[in-house]
Amino acid sequence: MSMTFSGQVALVTGAAAGIGRATALAFAAEGLKVAVADFDAAGGEATVEQIRAGGGEATFIRCDVTKEAEVKALMERVIAAYGRLDYAFNNAGIEIEKGKLTEGSEAEFDAIMGVNVKGVWLCMKHQIPLLLAQGGGAIVNTASVAGLGAAPKMSIYAASKHAVIGLTKSAAIEYAKKKIRVNAVCPAVIDTDMFRRAYQADPKKAEFAAAMHPVGRVGKVEEIAAAVLYLCCDGASFTTGQALAVDGGSTAI
C-alpha cells in the first residue's frame, strides 16, 4: 500500500492537542507540510514546535471554525504559505454535554452544533474549491461512534456526529467524479486530555471506559492518526463516503 505524501500539504483543525496534534505530527513525519489550525494559539504553536523539532515544516493559523470569515481566511493563508492543499482533517470539535436530553440548554446545543457541525460544513465549503482547482484531494472529518448509534446523556453531541457523517457521505457523492474523496473517522473513547479530565480522577470510571471496548482498553491518539493517514493515502483511493469506526470493537457488539 502506498503511503507516499512527499511534497504535499495537509491542514488539520483542532490541532492544539489530542487527536489533532497526533495527526499533525503523523502527517509531518510522512514528509508533508502541515497547516496547524486551532482556536487555542498556545497549544497550536506548541504543536508546530514539536513538528519543527522533528525536522518537519508547519505553520500555525488561529481559526474559529464557527465563523465563515475566519475559515475563508484560513484557507487563503494555507495557499499563501504553501501554494496548495492536498489533504484536510476537519477535527475541531467539542463535547460539553453531561445530562439527559431534557436537561440540556440552548447554549449547549448552539455551542456543540456550531463547532461540530457548522465548523465541518464551513471547512469543507472552503476546502473543496481548492481541491477542485488542483484536480483532487482527500478530506477526513472527525465523527464518533456516537454518530453510529445512541449516546445516552450525550444526545446533542450524538446528533452533531450523526450530522458530520451525513455531511461526509453527501459531499463524497457530490464530488466522487472530481477525484475528491471524503471520509470520516469514528473514534470510541480515546486517551486524550478530555478523557483524563472526565475519567481518570475516578478510577472506577476509567475502568468502565476501558471495559466498554472488547480489546480491554481505551484507544490511543496515534491510532486515530494512523486511520486518518490511511484514508488520505493512495492506498485508500477506492474508499470514499465511509464512516470508519476506530473503536476497539465496541460497535461490533
Question: Could you report the per-residue pLDDT of 70-89, keeping only the tens digit for each?
Answer: 999 999 999 999 999 999 99
- Identify the weakest region by mean pLDDT among 111-120, 138-147, 196-205: 196-205
pLDDT(38) > 50: yes
Helix (H) or strand (E) holding 180: strand 180-187
Q: Among the options 82, 87, 157, 175, which is catalytic?
A: 157
Q: Does residue 157 have an active-site annotation? A: yes
pLDDT(159) > 70: yes
Query: Which residues, 6+ apart, have CB-to-CB distance to 143 below 8 Å?
Result: 161, 164, 165, 168, 184, 185, 186, 243
Cα gap 162→168, rounded to integer Å: 10
pLDDT of residue 207: 85
pLDDT(3) > 70: no
Query: Which residues, 6+ apart, have CB-to-CB distance to 26 below 8 Å?
Result: 222, 225, 226, 228, 229
User: How much is the pTM?
Assistant: 0.96
Q: Which whole number is the average pLDDT over 139-162? A: 97
Q: Which whole number is the average pLDDT over 94-104? A: 91
Mean pLDDT of the chain: 95
pLDDT(250) > 90: yes
Composition of the chain by helix, strand, coil, percent to 5:
50, 15, 30
Structural domains of the chain ordered from first start: 9-189+221-245 (3.40.50.720)
pLDDT of residue 151: 93
Work out the percent of the chain whose per-residue pLDDT is above 70.
98
pLDDT(1) > 70: no
pLDDT(177) > 80: yes
pLDDT(48) > 90: yes
Do residues 116 and 166 touch, judged by C-beta distance below 8 A?
no
pLDDT of residue 6: 72
19 confidence band (pLDDT: 50, 70, 90): very high
